[in-house]
Amino acid sequence: MKSAIIALILPLYLTACAGADTDASRALTAPDVTAYTSAQQVQAAAELEGCSCPMLEEMMRDYCVMRDQSRALQGKKPTCTARAK
């Protein structure tokens, strides 16, 4: 009796997972990248250079790489990593 119940319930669990691997579930979406004006970028650079904030500078570099990765997913050219080379 116990094995008959398991035999009836098990296919329900397996079919519930079958629909999870669809094209929509595998689609890669890129977040929108906020565009900053040249003036905003110059101001941010001046503020970073004006203080001793090594951790903040490291986090900004990491953020820049993530922005470039997002741009690449959208078919756009990188901006930060292109300057670093």
Taken in order 73, 78, 82, 84, the sign of the CA dihedral is negative
b or e along 20-39 (b: 16 or more beta carbons within 10 Å of the residue's beta carbon)? eeeeeeeeeeeeebeeeeee
Residue 7: what pLDDT? Answer: 65
Residue 80: what pLDDT? Answer: 79
Residue 71: what pLDDT? Answer: 83
pTM score above 0.75 = no
Say whether pLDDT at 65 is over 80.
Answer: yes
